[in-house]
Structure 1
Amino acid sequence: MGFVATVREEAANTPARRNRVVDLWRAVSILVVVLGHWTMAAVTVRDGGLVPGHLLVLAGWTHPLTWAFQVMPVFFLVGGYANGRSWRSARERATPYGAWLRGRARRLTLPVVPVLLFWPAAGWLALQAGVDWRTLRLATSVALVPTWFLAAYVLVVALAPATVWLWERWGWWSVVAGGLAAGTVDVVSLGSGSVAVGFVNYLLVWGTLHQLGYAWLDGRLASVARRLLLAGTGLAAAVLLVQAGPYPVSMVGLDTSAVDNTYPTRVTLLFLGMAQAGLLLLLDPLAGRLVQGRRAWTLVVAVNARIMTVYLWHVTAMVLVIAASLVVGGVGLRARPLGASWWWSRPLWFLVLAVVTTAFVAGLGRLETVGPDPRPAPPAWRPLLAVAGVCAGLAALAVVGAVDSDGLSWVLFLVPVLAVVAGGLVRRPGLTHDARRAGITRPRR
């Protein structure tokens, strides 16, 4: 059965109990991220050379717009809802943690393997062709930006059973404690500049937003009053921190800022996420009616079926389009950024990038369709090994960089790939010997 037919069938057979709004906001958040990345690129070709440019650096008036375009907090919010529901379902079926985590990690990490194999090969070819290592370092750093957030999300998912336990016993106090810890660690990291301290806060901010998803799941944010309180508190706190503290207005990271709200993740993003969560929940009735429509819901199902592939490849697609333009003399990239012709060319720019991204999705999207795993439940350490290796490798790529004056950092690319294999996230086609011996058979279609 083809992809379109499968999506239509899944959309038509969606259980009535499913909260479709969760899927809608997941799809919207990733598509907004894609659009934001494509919009911020203000690259030009002059005298046969590439001139990097960033819209947020060139136009300060765009910084407040990042409060709407920085929607990764929404992705963690809906992730909390989905992962909380998934773990509770597994718990009711007495599914071991190892089996549950292996299933979640497979869907999240298998799509990143082609990216980590593509860039060493492409980088080697570029170096052989005479591309300066500094240019290649910039290209790989930009292309691998999505993996930085993926690393955080995979870790938060691995910790979901523990954070669900905290939520079920302490309720809102667990969220408050997470927020206070994030604020405290953030102050420490501002003074120390330590990568380790920043990484701890990175987890605390995204983990606390993930726990807000549990509150949504359990109906603790059902009233309009609570949604207004969440939105108002988050917005007021974020504005106060920006106005009175050292935090910049831009919620997207900039190398020109003394303090960066994104790398490492600051407490400002936690409060921005609270504001966004409250506002989106206020729109819940309208969003719910929208996704009841057959066409709208089918589109949401289609995007979610390939969401990781779109997220992981959309920046690589942009880098390749820029490289292709440079090869042919800068076609399409000669307009001066922020000029009238540059703005008029944006729709065509988006269209070209969408076509290239779609090609990647068509070729690699099937990796997201992992299907049921008939193998016996693994010991918990094995998928945890995969998660640790993937996150360590991706974090190292983000911090150290994939290219330096000595060439490509091959090992950093290989660490996550080997972790996926060693952690048992990849399996050979067909049933394993142990599964057949246990009497497990393939489901009939």
Structure 2
Amino acid sequence: MTTTTPAAERERLLAGRDLSVDLVRVCCVLLVVVLHSLMLGLEVRADGAIGWRNVVQDEPWFAVGSWFGQLMPLFFVVGGFASWQGWASTQRRGGGGADFFRARLLRLGTPAAVWFVVVGAIVWLAAALGLPLTAVQLLAKGLGLPLWFLAAYLLCQAVVPLQVRMHRAHPVATAGALLAGVIAVDAVRGATGVQTVGLLNLLLVWPLVQQIGFLYADGTIARLRRPALLGVAALAFALVGVLGMSGVYSPDMLDNLNPPTLPLVLIGVGQTALFVLAKPALDALMRTRPAQAFVGLAGTRLMTIYLWHLLIVIAVAATVLVAPTVVPAVGTLGWWLARIPGDAIVFGVLLLVSLGVARFERGPKRVGPVPGVPALVVAGVLAVVPPFWAMEVGLDLVAFVWGAAAMVAAVLIARGRPVPAAADRSARVPTMTR
């Protein structure tokens, strides 16, 4: 009988993983935390009112900096790679599209449902304790801002099986059709001035960026030589600059985020080329134990970090309300330097919070048989509507209640009726690390 040592088991688990992709996913989410900390400057104004301003976006370098600092396109690219691998794993186990989407919905929806319930209770408690209603509503709306990602990513996950099949059969035509759709939506939005038309690009921009990840997964991008990759990156960023200077699009990628627009696709192309160029160095880094430990720790709680970070960022920024004479004035050198200990506190508290809630990222311990497609469609809609509402309208006291109810219902529907553990030990949600 062969005995497997812990070291050998660790090597086996790491084998076959693209650890540089894992590193990028972790860094993308952690950078979001830092950027939100830089963007949120609370201050007590001369009239005693509480205000806030986006400090970093006021800087003259921010627009061009956002081409590299707005990493959501790159996150969707590496997410596309992960989805390609996850769908292949599902197929190897004999599963289908329903199995894949159910697992993804539970992995994303379960921690989101917990967030809605707990954070919603905190917001209601703040109102009950006498915090001014305007401040409570501002807090609720601010906390919901990052949730757009959940709606967009779930929509992308829903189309992975179909999109992979289309990519395998007609990669150029699939990407071309999505790109044409993106341009058409932007054109109609610009010609009519109807901003809601741009919401159609949620169904086009992010799946198109996801398909860049498919090109990485199937080896197409890896076959490009360094000069070609440099050329792709230079061309992509040059086109972003041209579009920004034309006045048709903003050069600021934060302005292009919701609804998403064509420049985000180009940013995704450019960032992917830079990632592949840096990959040898990233691979070397990820062969070290400290880097693997860091990614292993953060990578198992990315949804927790993303969902909970803004609550903690706001709490740290709110120290200005209790010590307005101690906290440096917003935008001053002292304020910028204070971001270092402030962010250290944010990440420390996030680590503590994750000890209690990160386990929900694994989804329910036991599930029932995979629900039928109609039930999964209902669950998917219930899971997408609350974050979509948060993106378009903003959360408030009432939205936290029905949003929590919808997210919990989505998880319960997708989970199905759990079978007794003794009767079927295979009922656990498959572990999908990709």
Q: TM exceeds 0.5?
A: yes
Q: In the TM superposition, what is the alpha-carbon distance from 1:268 to its structure 2 partner? A: 1.1
The amino acid across from 1:31 in the alignment is: L
Q: 1:245-265 CA distances to partner (integer Å, 9 max, x unpaired)?
A: 33222211xxxxxxx311211
Distance 2:308 2:7 in 1: 24
Distance 1:316 1:402 in 2: 14
Distance 1:25 1:99 in 2: 27
Q: Give the SS at the match of 1:358.
A: helix
Aligned match of 1:256: none
Q: 1:332-387 CA distances to partner (integer Å, 9 max, x unpaired)?
A: 5x322222221222211112222222222122111113377563332233333222
Q: Identity of counterpart residues, as a percentage?
A: 28
Q: In the TM superposition, what is the alpha-carbon distance from 1:194 to its structure 2 partner? A: 4.2
Aligned match of 1:87: 87
CA contact under 8 A between 1:21 and 1:284: conserved in structure 2? Answer: yes
Q: In terms of mean alpha carbon deviation, does 243-252 or 200-209 score higher?
A: 243-252
The 3 A distance-change label for structure 1 pair 387 and 442 is closer
Which ranges of structure 1 fall in alignment gaps of 5 or more residues? 1-6, 253-259
Which of these residues, 347, 358, 368, is aligned with residue 361 of structure 2?
A: 368
Q: In the TM superposition, what is the alpha-carbon distance from 1:269 to its structure 2 partner? A: 0.9
CA contact under 8 A between 1:56 and 1:63: conserved in structure 2? Answer: no
CA contact under 8 A between 2:120 and 2:400: conserved in structure 1? Answer: yes
Q: Is 1:390 aligned to residue 388 of structure 2?
A: no
CA contact under 8 A between 1:402 and 1:409: conserved in structure 2? Answer: yes
Which of these residues, 332, 343, 354, is aligned with residue 336 of structure 2?
A: 343
Aligned match of 1:115: 115
The 3 A distance-change label for structure 1 pair 192 and 117 is farther
CA contact under 8 A between 1:209 and 1:270: conserved in structure 2? Answer: yes
Which of these residues, 417, 429, 433, is aligned with residue 407 of structure 2?
A: 417
TM-score, normalised by the number of residues in structure 1: 0.87
The amino acid across from 2:292 in the alignment is: W
Provide the aligned length of Structure 1 versus Structure 2. 421
Q: 1:16-66 CA distances to partner (integer Å, 9 max, x unpaired)?
A: 222111111111111111111111222223465422121145333333222
The 3 A distance-change label for structure 1 pair 41 and 274 is same
Aligned match of 2:253: 251
Q: CA RMSD in A?
A: 2.7
The amino acid across from 2:409 in the alignment is: A
Q: 1:165-187 CA distances to partner (integer Å, 9 max, x unpaired)?
A: 11001123322221221111112
The 3 A distance-change label for structure 1 pair 441 and 131 is closer
Q: In terms of mean alpha carbon deviation, does 365-374 or 260-269 score higher?
A: 365-374
Distance 1:427 1:55 in 2: 49
TM-score, normalised by the number of residues in structure 2: 0.89
Aligned match of 2:61: 61
Q: 1:122-149 CA distances to partner (integer Å, 9 max, x unpaired)?
A: 2222223333333222222222222111
The amino acid across from 1:417 in the alignment is: M
Q: Is 1:25 aligned to residue 19 of structure 2?
A: no
CA contact under 8 A between 2:250 and 2:256: conserved in structure 1? Answer: yes
Distance 1:10 1:135 in 2: 52
Q: In the TM superposition, what is the alpha-carbon distance from 1:209 to its structure 2 partner? A: 0.6
The amino acid across from 1:25 in the alignment is: V
